[in-house]
Amino acid sequence: MKTALWLMGSLLLTGCLSKAKEEKPMTAFYDIEVERINGEKTTLSEYKGKTLLIVNTASKCGFTGQYDGLQKLYEKYRDRGLVVLGFPSNDFLKQEPGTNGEIEQFCRLNYGVTFPMFAKISVKGGEQHPLYRYLTSEESNPEFGGKISWNFNKFLISKDGRILNRFGSRTEPEDESLIKAVEEAL
């Protein structure tokens, strides 16, 4: 027992034993790496100069019908520079249990989704994706930071990568306040 305690103390002093999860430094928005739903890796720099609506999605949620409104919003404003980005997450009551392939097929067949969809990620907790760490951090997002409350939270991002607004799950894509914010951002 004394030997084990001595060894742990030595490891701590030499820096060989560290926290299970070290905090990663904040990254500039466009440097954040993401994985498309088909497995292809990219960064958000691909969307420089575009207005973005980033949404954490789920296929078995009471708000899943918002896929329809998101697709309509994308179709209406994409020629003016809006891109909707969908990030499936299984963080809330396991409402996104499918594989990336199943999610992609579900979205395409049931809602005609053509906006970019990405690989399933975690939007909260210890496995939180760097994108959502950035979006929810009080440091990088002092005005709209804070935990993700449920599926279909929406972040509006300016053409230069600034977080302009945040909308909760209950705010439908057709909501006047969301449309007004999108139009102002374009």
Catalytic residues: 61
Q: Which two tokens stand for residue 167?
A: 């909308």
Q: Could you give the angle at the alpha carbon of 184 between the alpha carbons of 183 and 186, nearest 5°?
A: 65
In terms of Cα–Cα distance, which of 140, 138, 163, 142 is closest to 153?
A: 163
What's the CA gap between 54 and 155, in Å, rounded? Answer: 5
